[in-house]
Chains A and B, each alone.
Chain A
Amino acid sequence: MPRLRQLPALLAVAALLLAGLAGCANPRTGSADDDPTRPVTLRLWHGWSDKREVAAVDAALARFRKKYPHIRVRTTGNVGDATVNQALRAGGDDAPDVVASFTTHNVGQYCSSGMWADLDPFLRKSGIDKNAVFPRVLLDYSAYEGVQCALPLLADAYGMYYNKDAFEEAGISRPPRTMSEFKDAAVRLTRRERDGSYRRVGFMPNFRLYENSPDRLFAQWGPRYFDADGKARLSRESAAREFFGVQRELIDALGGYGPLERFRTTFGDEMSSQNAFLTGKLAMHLDGEWRGPMLAEAGPGFRWGTAPLPVPDDRAGTYGRGYLTGTVVGVAHSSRHQNAAWELVKFLTTDTDQVVAFANALHNVPSTKAALASPALDVDPAFRTFLDIARDRHSVSMPPSVNGGMYIVALQDFAYDVEAGRVRDLAAGLRRLDRQIDADTLQSTG
């Protein structure tokens, strides 16, 4: 019976492997016992990659070095969230001390997993009242369930870009402020070729276009995605039905989903010279504040302006609001120089001169109340719109979630089905969506 004799050995090997697996966890944990006044080299990972952006980061670090000459910072740019996530999980001596992310949705993951250190003790130690320094919405998207594991490092506001020449040609005197005005303007701005195909649409309502993600348009209704228990509540949110209804009306008024979708697929890449707003295929367009310098540089051949996106007719008083997101920065849990890392985070996020200079260099919205009010802020009229959106008390951001952007992806999928007319019963569909989001959340919870 040779096989039976080998069985105990095989079982022993299997048990050993399982024992090894059971111990799987990041072996390295950092500490906040370091003396931040002693010389140290920190590693900063960030996502900026463009030459101009990298120069802005370098300039910010040069300012930091002037104030803290004993702290050197080695930077690694063009690092996405997946890489940050994987690196912090893998640990090791080369893991970053300070990390920046463009994706505020992932803050829930960072805070709940403990991967980014809680900054509240550091804020207290430095005597900083975060509520006095940062706008509320920005604090909302940089914390999760009471854990402030990130701080805002410049913000992004979404609004509307519009073609002034097209407006003039259509006899429209100002950007629309309500959804009724929006629909009317979109229809009047639409132009067709002789064969009936589109030459230009007033607004492309389809959710797959560039930044037209449903959550960004839905922000104009100021929805609440989760209840106090963390359960999805879109089926209980009357705004959800109104939002999808308005989008459906827009699609129908502009010629239907199929023709619009066919026209959309002829657009070039968002970040290229073939961008549909730039080529005149769109008269109104949802985008972030960073589009302004790109348009100015590209010289589109028409006059353009910016405005907040319109709001629902019955909430006309909230006009001026918009969707906010931004860059967040935190201290890696595995850093052994957390006090020194905090000095860098504190400087980058709370030093008014630094925040203003950084915002001017990157043409992003500053992320502190003092910087937003600073006279040193370099603003043109087009950019001022986005500053106002960032300051608006009705502006919203997406709530962080334990599984990052999974609920936004679920909303996107549902929205694609709705706009294509594949959802017959919207209320039942929203209930299914809630169940899906809850199942995803439960799955991501330990």
Chain B
Amino acid sequence: MAPLAPAPELRRKHLRRRLRTLGFLSPWLVGFTVFFGYPLIATVYFSFMHYNQIRPPTFVGLRNWTYVLGQMPLFGPALWNTLWLVVVMVALRVAFGLGIGLLVTKVKSGAGFFRTAFYLPYLAPPVAATVAFVFLLNPGTGPVDGILSRLGLPAPGWFNDPHWAKPSLVLLSLWGIGDLMVVFLAALLDVPKERYEAAELDGAGALARFRYVTWPAITPIVMFAVVTGVVQTMQYYTQALVAGKLASGVGVGPGTVVQPGYPDHSTLTVPQLVYSLGFQNFNTGAACVLSLVLFVIAMAVTSLLMRRRAGLLSAED
């Protein structure tokens, strides 16, 4: 017996419902297609092309891929630096943001002042904040090393030392922790007080209260901070570029070729390399390969984190 076909009236109703749904979704669909779908397809397409953005693209097979993955010496350091920052900077920012958030919730008097004081640095424009940090940490002319020397402490080279350049960037990011502090503060204030009271009645100490009351309640926010932190750090560009350029002390004169990543490529990140290849050398194919590598890594790390999320969160979350 042949299945019954839906009545034409019913089909029209389904179609209208679909069109209505699509209508509501259309702003997002248009945005997604124009700003994500199309660029993604274009990136894949150009990764197999030679295209200098002025002459029509020509197919070059896997040449861009073999160049980036096998012949470009800066790819390794840039990827390493980016992943280093993802692991160290994100972890420290989350821990520090949570720590400051906890601290300001405990402050009895002047809470508003401390909350504002910790939040304010986040409002400083990234370039201005980086310029200030490079100036303060300059080994020759900055005050920080002068003070450390007077105290008999070792004075690092900070942004001028390849071993200290990335930790200096982390320090800069911790200074501007205001964004995460606010998020954690809101989450911490949202934990029901009764749970703490019940835990205290059960004899739980401060550590146990954090472990069994606070942590389960704020885990979704921690996950949010980690995932957005990973995505943002994968795109880390401005501060690293400005710090490297300023710390080198080189003015851009005639014929000066300035390479990002000073000193010794220690501040070179993949996004800087993408810009340099794509919009200074107009090596579009290689820049697209790098972008795709970054995209795949970001997707993999985010998927992994989202998977881990299931294990971290309690059933009710």
Q: Which residues of A line the B interface, CB within 8 A?
A: 14, 17-18, 21-26, 80-82, 85-86, 88-89, 102-105, 109, 113-115, 156, 208, 210-211, 213, 262, 265-271, 274, 288, 290, 325-327, 398, 403-406, 408-409, 412-413, 416, 436, 439, 443-446
A188 and B149 CA atoms in complex are apart in Å by 29
Q: Is the CB of A18 within 8 A of B55?
A: no
B51 at the interface (CB under 8 A from A): yes
Contacts known (A21-B45, A270-B249, A444-B283); A409 close to B53, Cβ less than 8 A: no
Q: Is the CB of B140 within 8 A of A103?
A: no
B54, B139, B250, B286: the one within 8 Å of A266 (CB):
B139
In the complex, what residues of A have CB within 8 A of residue B263's CB? Answer: 208
Q: Is the CB of A24 within 8 A of B51?
A: yes
Could you list some 9 contacts between A and B, CB below 8 A? Answer: A18-B41, A81-B280, A85-B279, A102-B255, A105-B257, A156-B253, A262-B157, A270-B251, A404-B280
**Nearest Cβ on chain B to A411's Cβ, whole angstroms:** 10
Q: Which residues of B line the A interface, CB within 8 A?
A: 38, 41-42, 45-46, 50-58, 63-64, 67, 71, 73, 138-141, 157, 160-161, 246, 248-257, 259, 262-265, 279-283, 286
**Nearest Cβ on chain B to A80's Cβ, whole angstroms:** 8
In the complex, what residues of B have CB within 8 A of residue A262's CB? Answer: 139, 157
What are the 8 A-B residue pairs with the smallest beta carbon separation, nearest first?
A266-B140, A325-B255, A405-B257, A271-B251, A265-B160, A270-B251, A102-B254, A439-B71
Looking at chain B's contact residues, is the secondary structure mostly helix, strand, loop, or mixed?
loop
Q: Is the CB of A23 within 8 A of B251?
A: no
Contacts known (A403-B283, A406-B281); A156 close to B55, Cβ less than 8 A: no
A269 and B253 CA atoms in complex are apart in Å by 13
A445 and B55 CA atoms in complex are apart in Å by 12
B41, B64, B73: the one within 8 Å of A17 (CB):
B41
Nearest residue (CB) in A for B41 is A17
Nearest residue (CB) in B for A155 is B254
Q: Is the CB of B254 within 8 A of A327?
A: yes
A416 and B264 CA atoms in complex are apart in Å by 8
Q: Is the CB of B45 within 8 A of A326?
A: no
**Nearest Cβ on chain B to A274's Cβ, whole angstroms:** 6
A14 and B280 CA atoms in complex are apart in Å by 29
A18 and B42 CA atoms in complex are apart in Å by 7
Q: Is the CB of B73 within 8 A of A413?
A: yes
**Nearest Cβ on chain B to A195's Cβ, whole angstroms:** 12
A18, A213, A290, A436: the one within 8 Å of B256 (CB):
A213
Number of A-B contacts (CB under 8 A): 138
Contacts known (A436-B71, A443-B283); A267 close to B249, Cβ less than 8 A: yes
Nearest residue (CB) in B for A432 is B73
**Nearest Cβ on chain A to B294's Cβ, whole angstroms:** 19
16 additional contacts (CB under 8 A) given A103-B256, A274-B140: A18-B45, A21-B57, A89-B282, A102-B255, A104-B255, A109-B282, A211-B253, A269-B249, A270-B249, A274-B141, A409-B257, A409-B259, A412-B259, A416-B264, A436-B71, A443-B64
Most chain A CB neighbours (cut-off 10 Å) among B157, B250, B252: B250
Q: Is the CB of B160 within 8 A of A82?
A: no
A266 and B280 CA atoms in complex are apart in Å by 31
In the complex, what residues of A have CB within 8 A of residue B286's CB? Answer: 443
In the complex, what residues of A have CB within 8 A of residue B249's CB? Answer: 210, 267-270
In the complex, what residues of A have CB within 8 A of residue B283's CB? Answer: 403, 443-444
Nearest residue (CB) in A for B50 is A446
In the complex, what residues of A have CB within 8 A of residue B51's CB? Answer: 24
Most chain A CB neighbours (cut-off 10 Å) among B52, B55, B141, B262: B52
Nearest residue (CB) in B for A410 is B73
A85, A413, A445: the one within 8 Å of B282 (CB):
A85
Contacts known (A25-B55, A25-B56, A265-B157); A105 close to B255, Cβ less than 8 A: yes
Q: Is the CB of B55 within 8 A of A446?
A: yes
Most chain B CB neighbours (cut-off 10 Å) among A24, A26, A115, A208: A24
**Nearest Cβ on chain A to B99's Cβ, whole angstroms:** 32
A114 and B281 CA atoms in complex are apart in Å by 15
Q: Is the CB of B58 within 8 A of A446?
A: yes
In the complex, what residues of B have CB within 8 A of residue A210's CB? Answer: 249-251
Q: Is the CB of B254 within 8 A of A326?
A: yes
In the complex, what residues of A have CB within 8 A of residue B257's CB? Answer: 103, 105, 213, 405, 408-409, 412
A444 and B57 CA atoms in complex are apart in Å by 12
**Nearest Cβ on chain B to A77's Cβ, whole angstroms:** 15
